[in-house]
Structure 1
C-alpha cells in the first residue's frame, strides 16, 4: 500500500502540471482587452497600459508567464488582481462558502440517492421503484436553475418555510435547499447507479450463499451486498465534490451565496484571468486528491482488490 500511495502521488505531479498549464494557456488565450473598463468610460492612457503590461509580464511568452506563475504558486502566492487585491484573499473568502455548500450537496446525494438506490434495487418493479425512476428522470431532465427558482419561490416566497437567500453566516439549515438544488442531478444518477449495482449483485453467488447459511437479511445487505455494490457509487461521489464546487455558479447566484462561482463569473466578465486561473487551480487539487482517496477506498470496500 505504501509503494502504491507513493507511486500515485508521483503520478499526480505531471497531471497537475499538465492540467494547470492547459488552464493557464486557455484563459490567457481568450481574446479581449484586459484593461477595458479599468479607466472608466474613457480608454486607458498608453503609459498606464505600458506600466500594467510590465508589472504583470503580459508581454512575455506563455512559457515564461507560466513558469513564473508556478514558481510563485509553489510559494503560496496566487498573484494579485488588476485592482491590487490579493487573489489568495479572494480564494480564502469564497472557497469556504462553496465548500460548505458542496459538502451539504454531497451529503444529500449520498443519503437520499444511495438510500433510494438500495431500496429500489432490492425491490424492483414495484411502486417505489417506478416512483424513483420517474422522479430521478425528472430531476435529470430539468435544468438546475429551474429547480432552484421553483424551490426558492415555493419554499421561500410563497410558503415562507425558508429564507429566499442565504445569509453571511451560512447556517446549515439555510444550505439544505441550495444543497439539494446543486446536487439534484447527481443525486438522481447515484440513485440509478446504486439501483443497478444492487440488483446485479443481488443475484450473485456470494449473496445466495450468505442467505443459504441463514444470515439475517440486514447483515446480508449491509455487510455483503452493499459493500460490494458501493464501488461505482463511491466513484461518483468522490469525483463529484470538485464538480459541485465548480458548477455552483447558478446555485450561488440564485440563493445569493458569495462563493467561488460568483467570483469566477465576475472575473470572467472583468477579464481578471489570474483570478480565474487561481480558483481553477484549487479545483484541480480537489479533483486530484478526491480521485486518490477513491482509489484507496476501493480496497477497503472490496477485499478482492489489493494494491501491490
Structure 2
C-alpha cells in the first residue's frame, strides 16, 4: 500500500503542473486589456499601466510568468487583485460557504441516490423502478438553473449571508440534483448486475440472512463505481456552484469567480481554479485508497 500511495502521489505532480499551466495560459493569454475600465471613463495613465504590468509580470513571456506564479503559490501567496486585495483573503471568505454547500449536495445525492438505486436495483421493472427512472430522466434533462428557479419560487427560500448547513439544504439539493440522478441510475445498474454474481449466490447458499447478503456482500461490491463518482464529484460540485450560488444569491466561490471574470481579475480566477484542481487530485487519491477497503480482492502490491 505504501508504494502504491507513493506512486500515486508522484503521478499527481505532472498532472498538477500540466493542468495549472493550461489554466494560467487560458486566463492570461486572452488578447484583452486587463486594465480597461480600471480608471473610470478615461484610459489609465501610462505610468500606472507600466507599474501594474511590472507588478504582475505581464511583460515576461507566458512560461516565465507561470514559473513566478508557482514560486509565490508554493509559499501560500495567491497574489493580489489589481486593487491590492489579497486573493487568499477573498478565498478564505468565500470558500467555507461553497464547501458547506458542496458537502450538503454530496450528502443529499449520496443518501437519496444510493437508496433509490438499491431499491430499484433489487426490484426492477416495478412501479418504484419506473418512477425513479422517470424522475431521474427529468432531473438530467432540466438545466440546474431551471430546477433552482422552480424550487426557489415554490419554497420562497432566502439564504442569509453566512448560511448554515440547514440553510443550504434546498440549494444543496439543486446543486446535487443532476449527480443524484446519475448516482441512482449507476447504483441501480450495478446492483442489478451483481445480483446474479457467484459471490451473491454463494452467500445465499450458505443461508445468510437477506439483509446481510444485500448490505454486506451485494452493496459493498456494487458501490465501488458509485464511490468513484461521488469522490470526484466533490470538486465538480464546488466548481459548478456558480449557477446555483447565483440563483440563491450565495456569496461563495462560484460568485467570486463569476464577478472576477467580469472584472477581468485573472489572478483571482487562476487562484480559485488552481485550488479546485488540488481538490480534484486529492479526492481522486482518496477514492483509489477506498477501493481496498470496499473490496478485499483489490490489491495494490
State the partner residue of 2:148. Answer: 148
Gaps of 5+ in 2: none
Distance 1:210 1:191 in 2: 25
**CA deviation string 1:79-112 (max 9, x = no partner):** 0000100000011111111000000000001000
What is the alpha-carbon root mean square deviation over aligned residues?
0.8
| Residues 1:272 and 2:265 aligned together | yes
Aligned match of 2:214 in 200, 210, 221?
Answer: 221
Q: Which runs of structure 2 are paired with 1:278-293 in the superposition (5 Å)?
A: 278-293=271-286
Corresponding residue number in structure 1 for 2:167: 174
Partners of 1:125 and 1:187 in 2: CA distance: 20
For residue 169 of structure 1, report the CA deviation from its aligned partner.
Answer: 2.9
1:39 corresponding residue in structure 2: 39
User: Once the 2 structures are TM-superposed, how far is the Cα of residue 232 of structure 1 from its aligned partner?
Assistant: 0.7
Matched, 1:194 2:187: yes
Partner residue, 2:255: 262
Match of 1:132 in 2: 132
What corresponds to 1:80 in structure 2?
Answer: 80
The answer for unaligned runs of 5 or more in structure 1 is 157-163
Q: Structure 2-normalised TM-score? A: 0.99
Q: Structure 1 segments of 4 or more deviating over 3 A?
A: none
Deviations 1:130-157 (CA, angstroms, capped at 9, x unpaired)? 000000000000000010000000111x
Aligned-pair distance for 1:62? 0.6
Please give the secondary structure, in 1, of the residue aligned with 2:160.
coil
SS at match of 1:21: helix
- Work out the CA distance in 1 between the residues paired with 2:153 and 2:88: 35
Aligned residues: 301
3-state SS, counterpart of residue 167 of structure 2: helix
Instruction: Determine the C-alpha separation between the residues in 1 that align with 2:259 and 2:155.
Output: 28
Q: Return the offset for 1:165.
A: 2.5
Match of 2:225 among 228, 232, 236: 232
Q: Is the 8 A contact 2:118 2:188 kept in 1?
A: yes
> Per the alignment, in what secondary structure is the counterpart of residue 18 of structure 1?
helix
2:29 and 2:62 in contact (8 A); partners too = no
Q: 3-state SS of the aligned residue for 1:297?
A: helix
Identify the match of residue 298 of structure 2 among 296, 300, 305. 305
Q: Contact (CA 8 Å) 2:224, 2:291: kept in 1 or not?
A: yes
Task: Determine the C-alpha separation between the residues in 1 that align with 2:166 and 2:7.
Answer: 42
Is 1:106 aligned to residue 99 of structure 2?
A: no
Q: Which stretch of structure 1 is more off in the superposition, 100-109 or 33-42?
A: 33-42
